[in-house]
Structure formats: C-alpha cells, structure tokens
Amino acid sequence: MPEGKLCNKKPVSTREELDALLADTNGRQYYAEMEQLDVDADALWATIQKSMKSRLKTWLEICAHCGLCADSCFLYTVNQKDPTQVPSYKIQSTLGEIVRRKGKVSNEFMRMCMDTAWSKCTCCNRCGTYCPYGIDMGVMFSYLRGLLHSQGFVPWELKIGSGMHRLFRAQMDVTVEDFVDTCQWMVEEAQDEWPCLEIPIDKEDADIVYMINAREAKHYPEDIVEAAILFHIAGENWTMPSVGWEMTSLAMFAGDWEACKMQVETIYSAMERLRPKRMVATECGHAYRATVIEGPYWAGRPDGKPPVECIHYVEWVAEALETGKLKIDPSKKIKEPVTVQDSCNYVRNAGLRECTRIIMKHIAEDFREMTPCKEHNYCCGGGGGFNGIGRYRKQRNIALKMKREQILATGAKLVVAPCHNCWDAIRDLEEEYQIGIKWTFLKPLLIKMVEVPPHLRPEE
Amino acid sequence: MYELLTGPLLWFSFAVFFIGLGVRVWFYFQGLDWRLDRVAYTTQLPYGLKGAWRSVYKWLIPFGTHSWREKPVFTLIFFVFHIGLVIVPIFLEGHVVMIRNGIGVSWPTLPQGLADFLAIAAFLAGVGIGIRRFALPEVRILTDAKDVALLLLTLALLASGIMAARHTESYMTWLTVHVLCGHIVLLAAPFTKLAHIALFFCTRIQLGMDFGIKRGGMKTNFDW
C-alpha cells in the first residue's frame, strides 16, 4: 500500500482528515499504515540536493569521529552511555546514510530514522557547542525531521499538531471566537478581585502585544488572566490579537516547514496590523524559538528579525522588577530552596541566560543553580516534541533522569520552569520518580508576591 | 628519487594543497545560504563577525571552552598533537632551508632540540589518540578505516621525521619515507578529512555567526 488513509505524504488539509487522525486511538492504524508506506527515493534525493548545501554537507563529511559529543548528550548519559546514543553516530547512521545512499532507502530504514530523530534527539543543540568543529547535530536532526515529514514518516501526534497549525493557526483547535470568548469570561470572573482588569483585544499602537501558547487558551486560561493581572499592576498599555495570538509551532517539531511559515506569517501580520512597540511572548521556550529566532527565516525576512521587537516573558519580568514596575513584597519572597530550569530554546539558543537570575535575585532568598546551568544546561528531557509522543513515552521517561539528578543535587524543593515543555517534563518527572518537588511558572509565583498599588486594590 | 620529491614534485604537491584547500574554502562560503541555514549572514555582518571571531578564538585556546575543560586529558593530548603537527613543520630549520633554496623566502626557525621535543610529544600524543579511538566505546563506534588510515599516515610522517633528524645510518631511508608521507599529506588534504586544516575555521566561523547573529549574539556573548 503506497499511501495510507491516515499515514501518507500529504499534510492535513481538511477538518475531516484531522478528525480521522484524531479518531485513531494512539495512532494504531496510522503506524500500521506507516509500515507499508513507500519511500519516494527520487523525491527524497531531489529535496536533499536542493536543500543540503555546504553547511550540512561539510558537517557530515568533516566529523573527526572524536566522540567529544558523547558526554554532551544527556540521552547518551541517561542510557548507560550506550554508544548508539552518541550524537555523531545517531546522525551519521540516519541522515548520513540517506545521503550516502542517495535517498535509496527502505521503509524500515525510514522508520528507524523516525524513531531516532524523535526519540534520540530533542534538538537541544547542546552537542553543537561541545564539538570542536561546531557540528550542530540538533540542527541536522531538525533537517532530517523535515525530510522524514516530506515522506510521511512523522509521529502521529505531530502530524496532528502540524495539521492543527494548518487549519487553525494554533496547535489546538481553538478558533478566533473560542479565544476571544475565553479571554472575556476569564476577565469577568477575575473582575471581582481585580476591578478594571481587562484583556484588550486588537488594540492598535499599544506598547505591548502579548502572545501565548494555545494550551493556555484551551487548558490553562488562568495563565492568561495572571498575565493580564501582572500587566495591569505594572501599568502596561497592552493588547492581544484576535488572530495571530498563538506562537507555538508543533510544525517545527514535526519538520513541516510549510506549516511553520503559515504560522509565523499569521503572527507577523498581527504585529503589522496592530503596530505595537514590542511583543511579549509567554513562558514558552519553543514558541519563542519558533516565532522570534527561526520564524523570520521561514517568513523570508532578510534581516532575520520579526516585524517588531520581541521579548520573552522572562525579559519582561526582569525589566519590570528592575525598573520597579513590579515590586516584590520582601516578606513574601520564596524562603525554601529554589532552582530554575534554563530552557534550551531561549537560553542556549537565544542568549537569555541572565533574565531568570535577575528575577531570582528579586523573588528568592535561597536560589540554587543547577549544574550545569545557563547555556550549558541539559534539556528538561521532554523537548523537541518528545513530551507529546506516546510511541516514545518509555524513552522520554528515561530521558527525565538527567533533570531529576540535576534537581536533586541542588537540594531545591521548588523548580521554576518558565517554559511549557520544561514545566510538563518536570511535572511528569515528579509523577514518575516522586522526588518531592514542586514546579511552577513565574506568573502564579509573582501574583502571590507583588505589591499591589492601593488604587488597584478591590474596595473592601 | 629524493631530488625529484624535493624538487618539482614538491611544488606540485604544495600547489595541490594550497589551491585545493583554497577551493574548498571558497565553495564552503559560496554554499552558505541565509534562507536554508536560517542565518542572516550578510545583513547582520557586524554581529556575525564578532560571533565568528569568538567562536574561532575560544576553541584555539587550550582549555578555552567548556568542552576542552570537561576532557582535560584529551585536550592536552589533542593540543600537543596539533602543535607538533603545525608548529614544527612550519618552523623546522630543515624545512625552512628547503623553502629558501626553492623560492628564496625565509623565516625564523625553531631550535632543533625544541623541534625534536615537540615532534616526539606529538607522536606520543598521536599514539594516545589512536589508543583512545579503540579503548573508548563511544569513539570506537564512530571509527572507520579512513580515520585509522589518516592517523597512521600522520604518525608515519612524524616518526620518519623524528628518525631522519637523528642522522643515523639509515638517514636517507627515513628522509625519503618522510618526504613521501609529506607528499601524501599535502596531496590528500583537500580531498579527505585532512581538509579540516582549513575547514575547521570555516565551520567554526559559520557556527559563530549563527550564535552571533541569530542565537542570542545580539543580547549576550555565548559562553563557549
């Protein structure tokens, strides 16, 4: 069977196709069909010839096979230093082999590549910073994911995820009406406690446009209200767009570059329509990476920048605390030992290492660094889509061990994780290994600690 | 044989080496593509150049990066090996004299004792690299015949050079083997992993520009 009904080379383009995928429990039929999926070797090789230029070619050719990347990879370490988990081996035995065979590879080989690309690499890019040549295997695995996606070899959840982006411009089925309604009723509920609180939608020329992760609209709407309260207390002139509010990209995890482009173009047109001075991104790592770091290139912007200045939530909080827009009640600072999870996507890959340290200086009495930390920190264990793929749950749970050891070594009882993926991974880590920790985003912490100016307090 | 190897053939090998590596560098930079690589190389050039410089410089310093510091023994061996292979050939008196006789250009030379020391240290370091290649499972799994062949070629080059410098009875034999190995290295460099002599700088510059422009370089310097 060359093309399956669910598993095929065609991305999701209709609601019916998406519903059919969603109805397939755990992707059983999808993965069964994948075993029969033909590999279009000519198309694969043509794509490689068109898209693999000197950077990737040289990386594949020049690798000195020195093995320095081994210990940089947390998946190698947590899998008992299994040599097949050495980053160089993983990429040479998959992408390297496809290139050597000029695309003439079997279905079985492609499935092995899929399992490697999504369960043996989280695209954290740490290896690239430990290789003397600077060979970034995370970048190469991301490229491999794109090739696999083009041939239909992509995990079920990510085919659904990128399909969602194609249909809804969000990783979940949240329509414009759903989103605007959610904001309205959440504000109404909060207004008892916060009179005059609002979530201004589609306000033009505001200082800040705030953009989020669709999970917040769908599953954690309190997160949106917390953001609104903090902007309210800080006196910010802000808004959210009714279209283009979602900045995550499961399409990036899936290697669906066309959907990535569609997603960021929606966001950028919201920025151009509303003309804010800045965009503030919610506490999500990959959303920031997709929208701010990679997105401009998907959208073909030669300066490599989004249409307006974009900052991550940790940057906004650090700035608000330093400038006094937000003031912390000293008696409410965190007393227990607390540590911070540095997200690969906005720390290693976007240079925001100092923001959370500034925040901790303001809010924590006993802040403890993980080892390693900052740009050398390890992935939470669930990045790159790993958290969301049922087929690799066992491998993901093993992957969490590195973060477990890092957290235990700090002695911290609370982990601040200003990133959805990291937050999920640490929650799952506690569920799986029960080490007695709590985990949190910044917003709920700050809400409990900030001083509220008298004029914003509810009347007694 | 020796006259031929150190005469016209030598200049031919040098030409292949320099032109070949030059061509590889040229094609490397020609093949960088801001859209495919997702790095705004030209529009953000000042950030790129800063990132490139830091990325090269830090990695040229022994223990200058987190990676080097994490593997101190390997780092030591690695630098001893490369210093011996780069400094000694360029500044060895015998080599400089040969160049001067050939093209009339000259430069200062290393004392013979220091050159011997560096060369022997490099040879031992090379042996260490070879042992490591097979002793460590994470390196063994990556190793292929080409890696071994290049290492043996390099060791043969060093060993024959060291022996020739001792002026023993078999001086001419060692010298001929040494010159032959030198030719093979020069001729093979552009076409094998020895191209890293030049491409190391290219790939480091590229990743440095990536971090300097896109991945945070406009806000902080990456702590290599």
Residue B129: which CATH number? 1.20.950
* Regions in chain B scoring below 50 on pLDDT: none
Q: How far away is chain A from the Cα of B21, in angstroms, using its nearest Cα?
A: 13
Which residues of chain B make contact with A53, given a CB cutoff of 8 A?
A: 31-33, 36-37
Full domain range(s) for residue B155:
2-214
Residue A1 pLDDT exceeds 60: no
Q: Who has greater pLDDT, A192 or A161?
A: A161
- Nearest-Cα distance to chain B for A5, in Å, is 32
Tell me whether residues B67 and A67 touch, CB distance under 8 A.
no
Residue A425, min C-alpha distance to chain B (Å): 24
Residue B87 lies in a domain: yes
Is residue A337 within 8 Å of residue A410, measured between CB atoms?
A: yes
Interface test with B, best of A49, A63, A66 (most B CBs within 10 A): A66
The number of folded domains in chain B is 1
Considering the entire predicted model, what is its pTM?
A: 0.96
Q: What are phi and psi of B182, to 5 degrees?
A: -60, -45
CATH of domain A169-326: 3.40.50
CB contact B50 to A (< 8 Å): no
Is the per-residue pLDDT at A34 higher than 90? Answer: yes
Alpha-carbon distance B66 to nearest alpha carbon in chain A (angstroms): 7
Q: How far apart are CA B101 and CA A255, in angstroms?
A: 59
CA angle (B50, B54, B56) in 5-degree steps:
120
In the stretch 110-169 of chain B, residues with CB closer than 8 A to chain A read 133, 136-144, 147
**Per-residue pLDDT at A285 exceeds 80:** yes
Question: Which chain A residue has its CA at the smallest distance from B202's CA?
Answer: A133
| A296-305 per-position pLDDT tens digit | 999 999 999 9
- Residue in B with minimal Cα distance to A289: B215
Nearest to A304 among B44, B55, B143 (CB): B44
Q: Which residue of B has its CA nearest to A349?
A: B215
Q: Say yes or no for a CB contact (<8 Å) between B30 and A54.
A: yes
Smallest CA–CA distance from A135 into chain B, residue? B203
> Order of strands across the sheet with A367-368?
A367-368, A338-340, A414-416, A438-440
Contacts of A67 in chain B (CB under 8 A): 136, 138-139, 142
Chain A positions in Cβ-Cβ contact with residue B137 (cut-off 8 Å): 81, 83
Cα(A277)–Cα(A205) distance, integer angstroms: 7
Q: At what angle do helices A54-62 and B196-209 cross, to 10 degrees?
A: 130
Q: How many pairs of residues across A and B have Cβ atoms under 8 Å apart?
A: 150
What is the chain B residue with the closest CA to A304? B40
In Å, how far is A53's CA from the nearest CA of chain B? 6
In a domain, B224, yes or no: no
Tell me the mean pLDDT in the region A375-388: 97
Q: Which of B41, B141, B222 to mutate to test the interface with A (most CBs of A within 10 A)?
A: B141
Whether residue B222 lies inside any domain: the answer is no
Asked if the A39-154 domain carries CATH number 1.20.120, the reply is: no
Of B147, B206, B220, the CB nearest to A55: B206
Cβ-based contacts of A130 with chain B (< 8 Å):
66-67, 70
Q: Give exposure, B144-171, as e/b (b: 16+ Cβ within 10 Å).
A: eeebeebbebbbbbbbbbbbbbeeeeee
Please tell me the distance in Å from B51's CA to the nearest CA on chain A.
12
A235 has pLDDT over 70: yes
Residues of A in contact with B136 (CB under 8 A): 67
- Percent helix, strand, coil in chain B, to 5, is 80, 0, 20
Whether A53 and B216 lie within 8 Å, measured CB to CB: no
A53–B33: do the CB atoms touch at under 8 Å?
yes
Sorted by sequence, the CB contacts under 8 Å of residue B103 that are 6+ apart come out as none
Minimal CA–CA distance to A138: which of A129, A125, A149?
Answer: A125
**Nearest in space to A110 (alpha carbons), one of A167, A177, A39, A54:** A39
Q: Say yes or no: B14 contacts chain A, CB-CB below 8 A.
A: no
Domain membership flag for residue B221 = no
The percentage of chain A sitting over the pLDDT mark of 70, rounded to a whole number, equals 99
pLDDT band at A457 (very low <50, low <70, confident <90, very high): confident
b/e A306-334 (16+ beta carbons within 10 angstroms → b): bbbebbbbbbbbbbbbeeebbbbeeeeeb
At A306 the pLDDT is 98
Do residues A449 and A329 lie in contact, with contact meaning Cβ atoms separated by under 8 Å?
yes
Residue in B closest to A292 by C-alpha:
B214
Residue B104 — φ and ψ, nearest 5°? 75, 10
Q: Do residues A138 and A349 lie in contact, with contact meaning Cβ atoms separated by under 8 Å?
A: no
pLDDT confidence of residue B166? 87
Q: Return the C-alpha torsion angle A169, A172, A176, A179, nearest 10.
A: -140
The CATH architecture to which A330-449 belongs is 3-Layer(aba) Sandwich (3.40)
Whether the bond into B46 is cis, omega within 30 of 0: no
Domain definitions of chain A by residue range: 39-154, 169-326, 330-449
User: Do residue B139 and residue A67 have CB atoms under 8 angstroms apart?
Assistant: yes
CB-closest option in A135, A302, A353 to B43 = A302
Interchain pair B55, A59: CB under 8 A:
no
**Shortest Cα–Cα distance, B183 to chain A (Å):** 21
Q: Decide if the complex's ipTM is over 0.85.
A: yes
- Output the pLDDT for position A460: 58
The pLDDT tens digits for A57-92 are 999 999 999 999 999 999 999 999 999 999 999 999
CB spacing of A66 vs B136 below 8 angstroms: no
> Hey, what are A162's tokens?
């990128």
**CB-based contact (8 Å) between B69 and chain A?**
no
Q: How confident is the model at residue A459 (pLDDT cuts 50, 70, 90)?
A: low
Min Cα–Cα distance to chain A from B165, Å: 30
**Among candidates B43, B195, B215 on the partner chain, residue whose Cβ is nearest the Cβ of A303:** B43
- Tell me the pLDDT tens digit for each residue of A396-441: 999 999 999 999 999 999 999 999 999 999 999 999 999 999 999 9
Q: What is the mean pLDDT of chain A?
A: 96
> Comparing A39-154 with A169-326, is the CATH topology the same?
no
Give the pair of three-digit tokens for residue A200.
Answer: 């201004």
Q: Residue A63's closest chain B neighbor by CA? A: B193
Q: Which of A65, A348, A353 to mutate to test the interface with B (most CBs of B within 10 A)?
A: A65
Q: Is the pLDDT of residue A349 over 80?
A: yes
A contacts of B36 (beta carbons < 8 Å): 51, 53, 55
Q: Which of residues 165-204 of B touch A (CB under 8 A)?
A: 193, 195-196, 199-200, 202-204
Q: Is B74 on the interface with A (CB under 8 A)?
A: yes
